[in-house]
Chain A
């Protein structure tokens, strides 16, 4: 067990090198540099530009810059944002809870709808319900996130005026961050209407971000369920005289969950990718939008640090999912 964890943790090292390499060199392939973007349309004279490049250290060869960056990162220093001058780590820390909140709601949404839908589709295989669920989930899986988000905004925010267009909460409220998760903080603050406002703001982003995982979970649950329902032990459970519900929701689901949990673990990476798009569409103040802004501003340290931190988060979550695997699959628990 310990060995397993150590092997997995040691995998972080090559990933760390890969992420830093990619983030560092790719952003430098983009034309323009932070100084030009800061100067904006007014431009900047060449001598001053050169002077600033020297100050920031952009005059050195790229490979030397990379070496300097890595040695700093290894000392725990991710650098400062070129634009705000705030440490990257501090910015990440303050924005990450927003992304976590959105991602949690999205995966919860996907599970609450995807699991029962997949189960029902499996039980009523080849029924209209089954074909409906599978058709919709295929559509959901193939939907470009940004397009889906814009359509939802158009319909529910603009046409029907049901939900706010952007942000996490109405500007009327100032909520002291305690946990960083607005749903909890707004309740703690005791301000009237704050919680409702936070929920309203969450609905559309949750749906947009949760659509792909929802589709994947529904399909996976259905196929896993179909396989399990044909197993001998399901016949045994029926032969015991158990109710149909108990046979399906306990004996079958418990086994069907094993492949589904794997898929959920793999969806975490997808979720963060999706969060970048979703946050941009809904101006959600999380790390996704922060990274996109960093690209446009050529804010090298933010992009590098953000990519690295997100990478570590995804790897950690996948590790946790793998460990949780043993909890639901006794055969693995005892063989390790």
Chain B
């Protein structure tokens, strides 16, 4: 049985101009100890998907799903109280901005022991001892004295380590890291990533890494999920995805990496992610896709199994018959795919 099963998850935000779909039909399975990378541009719904799993979708967002189960428990039907026993204990999350993610009015020690006392029922002394251990594990020097420090007295990297210590305090089965290194210096980024990977290996916990940096994810994830405008575009084993991307969007993302640049200029994807008003009828990526046809502009592709993973595209790049089909779907007969 998978640790995490999500089927057809949607998150909607009612706005003045209509209902905004932040997450649209996401399905996902995660085994114990698995590392999943989630990539996509800003606003592609990566964070909101995970917030929905945590039960943290901000007001007035609405979460719907056919199935949302974690560790054999149906998150859609259990009470808020039951769910709170899971969040922070079996599934924990760290966020993008470590400095603002910690409460400025409480000491590191207080915020760290709070979780331990709540979920593990530790007394003050035991929680303190455990907190020192945890700070040591995440590589914070002289942890004892740091317990009485306030977040503003520590650097961003240190604060992120504290956040990680807080998240792993109760030995979670799943850790979600939402762009954990975006706000940090490049040198610190590598350290934090190493720390996360090591912790994942030591504890054999499942790890979901959200990022918009393909480079970060290549080194860490075994499986990668590419999201765009709230939908999964492609989801496959990392090595295969990097070697031979199947979705035009994935291919474009990879081509935009500086290390893949061949000429003098970096390759870009023209256009922007569709918003509330310009959401295409067909494939959401079609306005920016080099291979879009009349068919893909009008008919939205379903998420379907493909090449050992999932894909949402009419013409996967590895499909032998795609050239012929693209040409057939073009009423003007223009040759696009070659």
Contacts and interface: CB of A to CB of B under 8 A. Distances in A.
Interface in B90-131: 92-93, 95, 97, 100-106, 114-115, 118-119
Contacts of A238: 55-56, 87
Nearest to B115: A240
A236 B152 contact: no
B105 A330 contact: yes
Contacts of A243: 84
B88 interface: yes
Interface residues of A, number: 22
A131 interface: no
B152 A334 contact: yes
Most chain-A Cβ atoms within 10 A of its Cβ — which of B95, B103, B150, B163?
B103
A242 B58 CA distance: 16
Given A241-B88, A330-B105, 16 more contacts: A233-B100, A236-B101, A239-B54, A239-B93, A240-B115, A241-B86, A241-B89, A241-B115, A242-B88, A254-B105, A255-B103, A255-B105, A330-B104, A330-B150, A331-B150, A331-B152
Nearest to B89: A241
A260 to B, nearest CB: 13
Contacts of B163: 236
B153 interface: yes
B166 A240 contact: yes
Interface in A287-336: 328-331, 334
Interface string A252-288: 0011000000000000000000000000000000000
Interface of B: 54-56, 58, 80, 84-89, 92-93, 95, 97, 100-106, 114-115, 118-119, 150, 152-153, 163, 166
A239 B104 contact: no
B78 to A, nearest CB: 13
B97 A239 contact: no
Give the interface SS of chain A, mostly helix, strand, loop or mixed. Answer: helix
A327 B205 CA distance: 40
A240 B114 contact: yes
Interface in A217-257: 230-233, 235-244, 251, 254-255
B85 A241 contact: yes
Given A232-B95, A235-B56, A240-B88, A334 B103 contact: no
A309 to B, nearest CB: 36
B95 A334 contact: no
6 contacts: A232-B100, A233-B102, A241-B118, A242-B118, A243-B84, A255-B104
A231 B100 CA distance: 7
Given A240-B118, A242-B114, A334-B153, A233 B85 contact: no
A307 to B, nearest CB: 39
A236 B103 contact: yes
A124 to B, nearest CB: 11
A235 B95 contact: yes
**What 5 A-B pairs come out closest when comparing CB atoms?**
A241-B88, A240-B88, A233-B103, A232-B100, A241-B87
A331 B84 contact: no
B119 A241 contact: yes
A231 B114 CA distance: 19
A232 B94 CA distance: 11
Nearest to B105: A254
Nearest to B81: A243
Nearest to A231: B100
A233 B86 contact: no
Contacts of B84: 241-243
Contacts of B58: 230, 235
